[in-house]
A and B are shown apart, each in its own frame.
Chain A
């Protein structure tokens, strides 16, 4: 890779990130109408660029599919179908509008129906997964199984009819040990994410996301 491209990929990107980062941090922490104005402007630019990348993404997908279709690669008929559906929906959205009755009906009848079907299917997998996984082989798995069974049943209508205080036990389980664990995950994940960001920013990342020299 030429040196100028390396400079663009590293230093220009870092400069942009630092400017954006500083304006976001300054706007969040400091009382300054000027910084707020800069940040609002950068946010609008960010939204515009995100919209632009939406089209770039669409072009990427179309080019991959067209290449595969012309080569008669794997699953090429499905890719023709996908391309046709993409075009039809774009034309429909642009012409009749996404808030029109036609679009709403089409959306509810297709995407939402399929979505709900998959969502409804999840319980099948969850029950078969529960049968297979929640086996009390040792203390850890026993606790895991007992907690899962407790939370699933303590909120169920049949148990609440017999034992009305059951949901309070479930409430306590969810709001104390479960919430503590969840918050620990979120806090540690946030700290880890910050450090990953630092590693990328300063070029410390040596994995697949490293800056390549060649």
Chain B
């Protein structure tokens, strides 16, 4: 790799050749079409740290009220009144999927709030690692609520298999058996939502859904939805942690930069220039 740096050490000082020479050096090191991506990744890292640092320094941001999150709190109260559990489905993916992690974060908070007022939270998963994580999370929730004696191992988490439809049918059966007052779908879902959400509506549950990909199906069946990155914002704001919320601000800054690039791209294409496309490596 060092031989690729030869251009950096041999910079011609003739006017007009320095920049092209430096550009050649960069091209030798960075894969073609990915230079902008790398720069953007670095900018994301810097802005993430900056937002965290500003949060640490005392800067606070407010997340706008998320209707689905407010409904979650009301749903737990409704479950307590009706004497029915709350069900939370973290999706059909494994722990490597950020949507599943967001779902598990919400599971922890919902389980803890439920444990405080005597509402059990049940869940199911399709990957065994998520089953283990969910068990640990619910156990911790009962401990954090000061009621570790109420936790019964194996009672709250079910496993229905890795297959999308095996999980869908299993979760539907679970819904019919438990008759939850509220069902939260937060994670990675595909067509299994159709089966589970229709079953949820038959038992009269309030349904709150959030995912990135199959939002159309969640929107068709759920009463409240979390659109796109609202699932991550909900996962951050439900914990009421200022540092996590400050990173949400960093996310918004990145989105503004993305929107600016999009606008520049549209304008440049309209003017007949493909400069932005070439810069993005498309």
Contacts and interface: CB of A to CB of B under 8 A. Distances in A.
A52 interface: no
B96 to A, nearest CB: 10
A187 interface: yes
18 contacts: A29-B31, A30-B29, A57-B128, A61-B131, A67-B154, A115-B163, A122-B191, A185-B227, A191-B229, A191-B258, A192-B229, A192-B251, A196-B98, A204-B52, A207-B109, A208-B105, A208-B108, A208-B141
Given A125-B194, A185-B215, A194-B44, A133 B105 contact: no
A152 B110 CA distance: 37
Contacts of A204: 52, 241, 243-244, 247
B274 interface: no
Given A207-B241, A209-B101, 9 more contacts: A33-B1, A34-B1, A60-B131, A189-B212, A192-B233, A198-B45, A199-B247, A202-B52, A208-B137
B257 to A, nearest CB: 10
B194 A122 contact: yes
Contacts of A132: 201
A127 to B, nearest CB: 10
B76 interface: no
Given A115-B165, A206-B244, A195 B141 contact: no
B101 A200 contact: yes
Contact of B195 (A32, A64, A118): A118
B220 A208 contact: no
Interface of A: 25, 28-35, 53, 56-58, 60-61, 64, 67-68, 73, 111, 114-115, 118-119, 121-122, 125-126, 128-130, 132-134, 144, 148, 184-189, 191-200, 202, 204-209, 212
A32 B189 CA distance: 38
Q: Taking chain A's interface residues, is the majority helix, strand, or loop, or is none over half, making it mixed?
A: helix
B212 to A, nearest CB: 4
Interface residues on B, range: 35 or more
B195 A121 contact: yes
Interface of B: 1, 4, 28-31, 34, 37-38, 41, 44-45, 48, 52, 98-99, 101-102, 104-109, 127-129, 131-132, 137, 140-141, 154, 159, 163, 165, 168-169, 191, 194-195, 197-198, 201, 212-213, 215, 219-221, 227-229, 231-233, 235-236, 238-239, 241, 243-244, 247-248, 250-251, 254-255, 258
Contacts of A206: 239, 241, 243-244
B232 A193 contact: yes
Contact of A29 (B38, B168, B229, B243): B38
Given A57-B128, A68-B154, A195 B48 contact: yes
Contacts of B191: 119, 122
B108 A207 contact: yes
Nearest to B131: A60
Contacts of B169: 118
A33 B26 CA distance: 16
9 smallest CB-CB distances across A and B, nearest first, come from: A208-B108, A57-B128, A193-B98, A189-B212, A192-B229, A192-B232, A207-B105, A206-B241, A118-B165
Given A125-B198, A193-B98, A208-B109, A73 B154 contact: yes
Contact of A129 (B140, B212, B220): B220
Contact of A130 (B28, B48, B220): B220
B251 to A, nearest CB: 5
A191 B251 contact: yes
B228 A31 contact: no
Most B Cβ at <10 Å: residue of A31, A184, A208, A212: A208
Contacts of B227: 185
Contacts of B250: 195
A137 to B, nearest CB: 13
Contacts of A207: 105-106, 108-109, 235, 238-239, 241, 244
